[in-house]
Amino acid sequence: MICTTLNRIRVHDPCVEGWKKLLQHLGKTEADDEPLPFSVIVESNGMTDALWACRTVPEHDREWRLFAVWCARQVQHLITDQRSHDAINVAERFALGAATKNELDAAFDAALAAARGAAFDAARGAALAAALAAARDAAQDAAQDAAWFAAWSAARDAARDAAQDAAWFAAFDAAWSAARDAARGAARGAAFDAARGAAWSAQTAEFLRVVTETECCEAIRARGEK
């Protein structure tokens, strides 16, 4: 079972609300070095905080990367650009020790270029539709210019948001965004909420499987010292 500690979490400046909630759940008033299973964090604070806490145990980078790959695989059928497919494959190979950091960086750059292009195309399409509607309704040239500027800003911001320092968080955010957008496109209202809830439940179940079936590094080291 993968564990962290309250002291490890505190080093990374957790949000005040989440920190208080976790301490209250544990019946504690201050941090300590007692092993804290990730399953308990999920039970106390939910998946979002548990995923944030993954940064406190970088020695389990392999498990986190493979979990991110699993998330991406769930929506891979919705991904149309081969560069994004390749990035998922390279990320998996890297986690398994079968790809180099240079290969991972190259795949990430290619996937980022694909995301940037898709974001720009989507924004340009939305801008064109908005401009045409505005031109039809008011016949204002300025509306078209404003829409184009908004599209460019949206594409720029989307590219900047996609370019995260940590490949893991980029992969997870991309997977969640794809799942959310796919669900929104396929269902509306309550149907969307149900689909989103099912996807989140599946991710939670897989995360709990990973953290409960993987031995903590401390236990492995202790066994090796005997």
* Range from 48-57, 171-180, 212-221 that averages highest in pLDDT: 48-57
The answer to pTM > 0.85 is no
Distance CA 144, CA 130 (A): 8
Predicted pLDDT of residue 130: 63
Residue 173: is its pLDDT beyond 90?
A: no
The pLDDT confidence band at residue 114, using thresholds 50, 70 and 90, is confident
Phi, psi at 118, each rounded to 5°: -65, -40
The tokens describing 102, both together, are: 């240079």
Distance CA 95, CA 191 (A): 35
Contact 163, 112 (CB under 8 A): yes
